Amino acid sequence: MPPIALTDLQLHEVMQAARLVPLDLRQVYLEQLAMELRGRELGDGLVHRVAYDVARRINWDAGKMAAVG
């Protein structure tokens, strides 16, 4: 999968959102984020919104799995 070109500001937003994700799930976070951003026009607002949406979704799923398992 070729890399996604992000500006410094966009990369900063991705890194800030990644801090919300447990360390053991950060690779999953980056993979899901890349899938969501691939092929889209990458404005600062879109990257911010998607980065935090993916981080929240992963945390929500992790919380549900912890409650079940």
Do residues 28 and 58 touch, judged by C-beta distance below 8 A?
Answer: yes
Which pLDDT value is given to residue 3? 84
**Stronger pLDDT, 54 or 68, i.e. the higher one:** 54
Is residue 16, in this structure, part of any structural domain at all?
no
Is residue 5, in this structure, part of any structural domain at all?
no
Residue 53: closest CA among 17, 25, 26, 23: 17
Is residue 19, in this structure, part of any structural domain at all?
no
**Stronger pLDDT, 1 or 9, i.e. the higher one:** 9
Is residue 52, in this structure, part of any structural domain at all?
yes
> How many angstroms separate the Cα of 64 from the Cα of each of 26, 32, 40, 44?
17, 18, 30, 30
Q: What is the pTM of this model?
A: 0.84
For the chain, what is the domain count?
A: 1
Which pLDDT value is given to residue 2? 77
As a dihedral over the C-alpha atoms of residue 5, residue 9, residue 14, residue 19, rounded to 10 degrees, the angle is: 150
* pLDDT of residue 65 exceeding 70: no
Domain that holds residue 38: 25-68
